Structure 1
Amino acid sequence: MTDLLNYTWQNENQQDLIQGLAKLQARINEKISRDNPAETVTEQGESIPDLEDSQFALDQLCSTFNLSSFERDILLLCAGAELDEQFLDWLSQLQGIAQKSYPTFGLALKLLDCPHWSALTPESPLRYWRLIELGSGPSFTLSPLRIDESILHYLAGVKTQPLPLEALIGSLDVSVSLMEHDHELIQTLVDTWVGAANGQEFPLVQLCGEDSRSKQAIATTAFASLNLTLHHLDPAQLPSSPHDVHQLLRLWHREAFLKGYALLINCDKLATPLNQNLALIKLIQEISTPVILTSSDRLSIPNRSIINLEVHKPTLTQQSQYWQTHLDSWGIELNGQVQILISQFNLTSTQIQTICSHTLSKNRNELPETITKELWRACRQQARPRMDDLAQRIEIKATWDDLVLPETQMQTLQTMAAHLRQRAKVYENWGFRRKSGRGLGISALFSGPSGTGKTTAAEVLANTLQLDLYKIDLSSVVSKYIGETEKNLRRVFDAAESGGTILLFDEADALFGKRSEVKDSHDRHANIEVSYLLQRMEAYQGLAILTTNLKGALDNAFMRRIRFIVPFNFPDIKQRAEIWRRIFPTETPTQDLDMNKLAKLSISGGNIRNIALNAAFLAAENDESVQMKHILQAAKSEYVKLEKPLLDSEVKGWIAKP
């Protein structure tokens, strides 16, 4: 029906334009036949009667830019020259020169009613809004006039973007299901702009939050209720010249006033900080149409007041409702498994909608267990953070069988896994969230020498819980520049807030050494950095693990705020023997390996792994099974790397003397 109405309107609009051209020709021909040149040129032509109620493009344009009857006729004259070849011949006849088949200001002054010189000054609507273009000619009055192409299409009933705007500004196509709390925010936006439309200045509105698509959907819906079409601007494409920005703004204002446009400026991923982007600041300061900025954090614009509105992530209850709504729409029942998903993944409504539409369309006929598994996998992919150069995603392979630790440490690790699995039940269903004075993050400290299994334990937890593991080297995050360390830490935690990720902060002693008395600004900021990380760890929705080789160097106040502390001690001879028994895959051919003798090597599990791998390569090169002689050769290389002597007592009896 809408297409039919549009088709009917376009036909009627074009008929109105044709009639307008015909009436203009008739008036001019009548004037010529009376041999009565135009009346005396005046300063300002007659205004056109109120046309706001007219539905046709020409009338709407004249009303929008307050064109006089003379300016309207100039525009029609230029449109006729583009639309009708016979009109061109007629223009040639009027000017008595066959080659002069184009309108000029001189011709308009001579033949049109109510002429006024101000119609073609640089500040007149025709030229200020670039409705017509003034070509080169022997004089001002003899220069050719031409209608702007986008304006010509508009008069013909077709909305197009002018070429300078096409590369910068595009329409938004957002299909996101909005929930009740989103509509409350939409109504706030509508009320804000309705007040501005009643005579106040249009405010600059900023939507803050991490969910870009929800922000776009909220803005699109709000503007649609005001009969405005939302377009978006990519700040990276803005010209740098202030003059070019000014011309772009003028063109945007023309299109927006004429066609009912509003603008969304996406500042979520600015290439440079806003205070360094002078072109964008100038555009935001001078734009006078309804505009929305979207960004993760609040932005400050000099000389422009901003209304800040937060687009929060949905609460756990709201997430549960979103999941249930989408599952019900597919006729799928998961028997309480939704709670498991929301206990680990802190997703937006957009992400939940995307996960359900993609996953359920492929697996709707599978068993609930299979559907839950696929939804979990999709959640991991959606929540997977972009850490850039601050973190490394670890490929997860280790299992509980790869860990050789005392029973106490193994129980602590299993308890940590239970805390992550049962978060929703304990905090939400059993009410412990109300009893918690601090954040609900799960933090842990793994302490011990290198190679004792700290990273492997984190990998085992990630594998058990089917979560991603990201390793962050704190020594590369800490900066000597004040404020940079917090900025780097914020980037890590903000990127991981969707959950599904275990954060492993390596080399924690780079930041968490003994906090000294505050003697200068550097001491003060060092303490601020520690406090900031503790705060973010406590608020983090997942598991954050810190590793250190120097537990004794850590501040006791810091230790009290860590929920789990797991010591990874140097393995004793019994543990080393067990590591050697598990180190070779079942597919590896071995021969006459004595694990008790191998356990005499006073090295960590990481060194044992290196020696076993090197021995396997040596054996494979000789097409032999792995034997004690290969391990001896590999052990010698490892000890050289460790810069320690390989004692005879450690390898005594390994190889029988001939």
Structure 2
Amino acid sequence: MTLANTYKNWQQENKDFLLAALDRLTNILKSYIDQCKNDSLRDLPSQSEACFPPKNIEVEISAHPALEVLCKRFNLSDFEKNLLLLCVGVELDLNFSDLCAEAHGVNHQNYPTFGLALRVFPNSHWSALAPDAPLRRWKLIDLGPGRTLTNIALYIDERILHYIVGVQTTDTLLTGMTELSQNVQQLIPSHQSVADKIEALWKLSSSNNILPIIQLCGSEIEDKTDIAQAVCNHFEQQVSILNCHRIPLNPEDLSLFICRLERECILAGRVLLLNCDDIDPFDQLQRAAINQLLEQLGGFIIVTTLSPLQGIKRQMIRFDVPKPLPQEQLITWETSVAELKTQLNGQGKFIPDSKQLMQDLQELTSQFQLSNSMIRRACTATVGTLTMPSAPSLKQALWQSCRVQARPGLDELAERIESKLSWEDLVLPPLQKGILKEISAHVRQKAKVYEKWGFASKSRRGLGITALFSGPSGTGKTLAAGVLANELNLDVYKIELSAVVSKYIGETEKNLQQIFNAAESGGVILLFDEADSIFGKRSEVKDSKDRNANLEVSYLLQRMESYPGMAILTTNLQSNLDPAFMRRLRFVTQFSLPDAAHRSEIWRRIFPPDTPTEGLNFEKLAQLNTPGGNIRIIALNSAFMAADAEEPVQMKHILKATQTEYEKLGKSLTSVEISGWI
């Protein structure tokens, strides 16, 4: 029998059980009404006749009825069960309103009350009316208006009614909560070790009735949720995820929210997974709301965070979730590629021989530090690409897919620069160009040197590739970064330091942490333009501003040391950088103003092949003593002038564009520079 059919059968059985229980309750009310008419109020139904659940209801049910499950989970007494069922009856059967009116002896009082329940049902107890008793504490019933507790109207909560009837729904107040599927991929060894420790802790805690909060710290939310789901699968429990931004900040709203949230977890038998990965550490109201929720909420709770939460009084046990080790990533890659082959089923271009495949996967692992879920998504995303007529190789398809997987975190924090530049577009002296090609070789051979040759075995700090490009503006520093990105098939992200540096204490470090964390998935080159504004020298501490500035530089020093990717710093003044940065930089290259020979070569390459030109003298143009960045602007402006005149680009257009550029820069154009142009 399918799962859908099983659920359908249970719904019918649950309905039959509930109707039979309501019939029983109807008979009890009618009996009470008859006795009232006969002035036999003392001769109420005996406990054996009025007890609930009914003992003589002949309804077979394969699974537990929803009402019985609810009563057990909230520890309701027989009296409380009957009272709750009375409220259900009014919602489902119109006759119950008339019966309530008759029982009260007042026509307009056609609703359940505590007073009626106390008179009708056996084993009644006043404590059921208390605010901390289950019916009111868990908001199973709502109280109508009025001052007399025993005579005010009682209504069953909508969520509770749906549950008892057998309708699968969620509390409207908790909209935005999501449920995790119980299907979870097999955990890698380092993550399985974390799951095993949590399982052992929960077993011990359950026996001692002490339930600590489990805090999973790490940068990959999906890895943390996989661990949480694996633990809950072990205990045959489901998981509900709540984002911390869904928590109300108003104290009154928060108290109701906590109550309904815990009720939902008890009702559905679920573990709460609170996602605090994007919490704002400087938002005091949000932090206070999260702390209150965690301190007041009962049951098993798992919290995911980037860094540990502080200031919570309830016991919280932290587990760090490490990124998959390179060997673990390789295993996930192999498994995912095997599944990809099954998906393609012989269609399209696919897998090279095992030796070449392993080499390709090692290169992917060395460049991209992806989580297990990101690796699986990267493989799945290549299905359409590999079945195209002009499909790339498997390595090319996976590489591009990895780049896309690594982008989302940085796209919101920095500017991605698309680069189609090649070595041919870069005019530099042999020494500088040789250093750039050496940088490229370091990135390409990371897998071999770090993993195969063992350089990463002792420490994984200092494995990132950092370079400093210094020199005057317009000498090709940003251009060189674009060439490297295109050569290595990586994305380059330009960090706008104006958006990073803040006058508020701690804000600069927080902004930088977000950038470095997002970039750690790999596949990107971080370009810190005009880096001396943030990587400057530490100074003698004379006031709080000096102290904060020094802290920012110290944080950057540590972060650059641990960053595993590639970062390029550009500066016009190398002498302004803190000397400690120089030790952490693997490459330093000076970009100088081009000489006449290099300027001539830049002019030869500056116009695209499709640009019409006529009579350009590159040796004469090389007399113009200006860097490559300004040459590009002059060439572009001259092209617009020629296009507007419907002519090919000529020396006269370049002369006019040069005069405009020099006027912008506040420079004087000498006759020597333009001698012989026209």
Instruction: Compute the TM-score of the two structures, normalised by the length of structure 1.
Output: 0.90
Whether contact under 8 Å (1:505, 1:544) holds in the other structure is yes
Shift of 1:257: 2.4
The answer to whether 1:169 aligns with 2:173 is no
Shift of 1:647: 0.9
SS in 2 for 1:309: strand
Q: Extract unaligned runs of 5+ from structure 2.
A: 45-49, 56-61, 342-349
Shift of 1:374: 1.6
The answer to whether 1:371 aligns with 2:389 is no
Determine the C-alpha separation between the residues in 2 that align with 1:174 and 1:599. 69
The answer to whether 1:280 aligns with 2:290 is yes
The residue aligned with 1:227 is 236
CA separation of 1:585 and 1:365: change in aligned 2, threshold 3 A: closer
The residue aligned with 1:43 is none
User: What amino acid is the match of 2:635?
Assistant: A
Shift of 1:391: 2.8
The residue aligned with 2:66 is 57
The residue aligned with 2:345 is none
Shift of 1:102: 2.9
Determine the C-alpha separation between the residues in 2 that align with 1:338 and 1:534. 32
Shift of 1:141: 3.7
Determine the C-alpha separation between the residues in 1 that align with 2:430 and 2:385. 44
Whether contact under 8 Å (2:182, 2:238) holds in the other structure is no
Shift of 1:258: 3.1
Shift of 1:390: 5.2
Shift of 1:140: 4.2
The answer to whether 1:152 aligns with 2:153 is no
Determine the C-alpha separation between the residues in 1 that align with 2:408 and 2:193. 29
Shift of 1:318: 0.7
The residue aligned with 2:117 is 108
The residue aligned with 1:587 is 610
Deviates more, 1:179-188 or 1:575-584: 179-188
Whether contact under 8 Å (1:235, 1:265) holds in the other structure is yes
Whether contact under 8 Å (2:461, 2:564) holds in the other structure is no
The residue aligned with 1:308 is 318
Q: Quick one: which of 401, 424, 440 aligns to 2:424?
A: 401
The residue aligned with 1:427 is 450
SS in 2 for 1:298: coil
Whether contact under 8 Å (2:461, 2:563) holds in the other structure is no
Whether contact under 8 Å (2:419, 2:485) holds in the other structure is yes
Whether contact under 8 Å (2:485, 2:492) holds in the other structure is yes
Shift of 1:309: 1.3
SS in 1 for 2:409: coil
Q: Quick one: which of 22, 37, 41 aligns to 2:41?
A: 37
SS in 1 for 2:16: helix
Whether contact under 8 Å (1:443, 1:538) holds in the other structure is no
Determine the C-alpha separation between the residues in 1 that align with 2:573 and 2:149. 84
Shift of 1:501: 0.6
Determine the C-alpha separation between the residues in 2 that align with 1:163 and 1:516. 56
User: What amino acid is the match of 1:391?
Assistant: A
Determine the C-alpha separation between the residues in 2 that align with 1:472 and 1:556. 22
Shift of 1:427: 1.1
SS in 2 for 1:153: helix
RMSD: 3.0
User: What amino acid is the match of 1:535?
Assistant: Q
The residue aligned with 2:638 is 615
**Percent of aligned pairs sharing the same letter:** 47
CA separation of 1:128 and 1:179: change in aligned 2, threshold 3 A: closer
CA separation of 1:16 and 1:301: change in aligned 2, threshold 3 A: farther
Deviates more, 1:139-148 or 1:408-417: 139-148
Q: Quick one: which of 169, 192, 195 aligns to 2:204?
A: 195
User: What amino acid is the match of 1:327?
Assistant: V
Whether contact under 8 Å (1:570, 1:604) holds in the other structure is yes
Shift of 1:285: 1.5
The answer to whether 1:351 aligns with 2:374 is yes
Deviations 1:621-657 (A, max 9, x none): 21222121111111111111221211111111222xx
Shift of 1:449: 0.7
The answer to whether 1:185 aligns with 2:218 is no
Q: Quick one: which of 328, 342, 349 aligns to 2:338?
A: 328
Whether contact under 8 Å (2:217, 2:306) holds in the other structure is yes
Shift of 1:164: 2.4
User: What amino acid is the match of 2:180?
Assistant: L
Determine the C-alpha separation between the residues in 1 that align with 2:636 and 2:131. 80
The residue aligned with 1:392 is 415
Q: Extract unaligned runs of 5+ from structure 1.
A: 41-45
The answer to whether 1:452 aligns with 2:475 is yes
Determine the C-alpha separation between the residues in 2 that align with 1:260 and 1:155. 15
Whether contact under 8 Å (1:274, 1:281) holds in the other structure is no
Shift of 1:421: 0.6
Whether contact under 8 Å (2:29, 2:99) holds in the other structure is no
Shift of 1:428: 0.8
Determine the C-alpha separation between the residues in 2 that align with 1:78 and 1:502. 64
SS in 2 for 1:586: coil
SS in 2 for 1:452: coil
CA separation of 1:254 and 1:319: change in aligned 2, threshold 3 A: same
SS in 1 for 2:291: helix
The answer to whether 1:20 aligns with 2:15 is no
The residue aligned with 2:513 is 490
Shift of 1:118: 3.4
Shift of 1:245: 1.5
SS in 2 for 1:397: coil
Determine the C-alpha separation between the residues in 1 that align with 2:296 and 2:501. 40
Whether contact under 8 Å (2:560, 2:584) holds in the other structure is no
The residue aligned with 2:534 is 511
SS in 2 for 1:352: helix
User: What amino acid is the match of 1:21?
Assistant: L
SS in 1 for 2:664: helix
Whether contact under 8 Å (2:211, 2:300) holds in the other structure is yes
Deviations 1:529-573 (A, max 9, x none): 334323323322221111111223445443233211111111111
Determine the C-alpha separation between the residues in 2 that align with 1:400 and 1:54. 71
Whether contact under 8 Å (1:176, 1:350) holds in the other structure is no
SS in 1 for 2:67: helix
Deviations 1:301-355 (A, max 9, x none): 3312211112221011111110100111233534221112112111000100111
The answer to whether 1:416 aligns with 2:439 is yes
Determine the C-alpha separation between the residues in 2 that align with 1:553 and 1:280. 43
Whether contact under 8 Å (1:513, 1:554) holds in the other structure is yes
Whether contact under 8 Å (2:539, 2:546) holds in the other structure is yes
Whether contact under 8 Å (1:274, 1:280) holds in the other structure is no
CA separation of 1:142 and 1:486: change in aligned 2, threshold 3 A: closer
Shift of 1:227: 3.0
The answer to whether 1:267 aligns with 2:290 is no
The residue aligned with 1:293 is 303
SS in 1 for 2:25: helix
Deviates more, 1:360-369 or 1:595-604: 360-369
Shift of 1:481: 4.3
